[in-house]
Amino acid sequence: MTPDLATSTLPHADPFAVFDAWFAEARRTEPNDSNAMALATATPDGVPSVRMVLLKGHGAHLGEGGGFVFYTNSHSRKGAELLANPQAALLFHWKSLRRQVRIEGQVARVSDADADAYFASRARDSQLGAVASDQSAPLDSRETFLARFAEAEARFAGREVERPNHWLGFCLVPRAIEFWQDREHRLHDRRRYLRDPAAAGGWTSTLLYP
Rounded Cα distance between 190 and 182, Å, is: 9
Which amino acid appears at position 157 of this protein?
A: A
| CATH H-level superfamily of 3-117+170-207 | Electron Transport, Fmn-binding Protein; Chain A (2.30.110.10)
The answer to which of 62-71, 108-117, 139-148, 161-170 has the lowest mean pLDDT is 62-71
Which amino acid appears at position 65 of this protein?
A: G
What ranges do the domains of the chain cover?
3-117+170-207
DSSP notation for the chain: --HHHHS-S--S--HHHHHHHHHHHHHHH-SS-TTEEEEEEE-TT--EEEEEEE--EEETTSTTT-EEEEEEETTSHHHHHHHHS-EEEEEEEETTTTEEEEEEEEEEEPPHHHHHHHHHHS-HHHHHHHHH--TTS--S-HHHHHHHHHHHHHHTTTSPPPPPTTEEEEEEEEEEEEEEE--GGG--EEEEEEE-TTSGGGEEEEE---
Rounded Cα distance between 93 and 120, Å, is: 29
pLDDT tens sequence across 5-34: 666 788 888 999 999 999 999 999 988 899
Annotated catalytic residue: which of 186, 191, 192, 195?
A: 186
Rounded Cα distance between 177 and 151, Å, is: 44
Confidence bin at 61 (pLDDT 50/70/90): confident
Check whether 2 has a pLDDT greater than 70.
no
pTM comes to 0.90
Catalytic annotation present for 122: no
pLDDT tens sequence across 128-180: 999 999 888 899 999 999 999 999 999 999 999 999 999 999 999 999 999 99
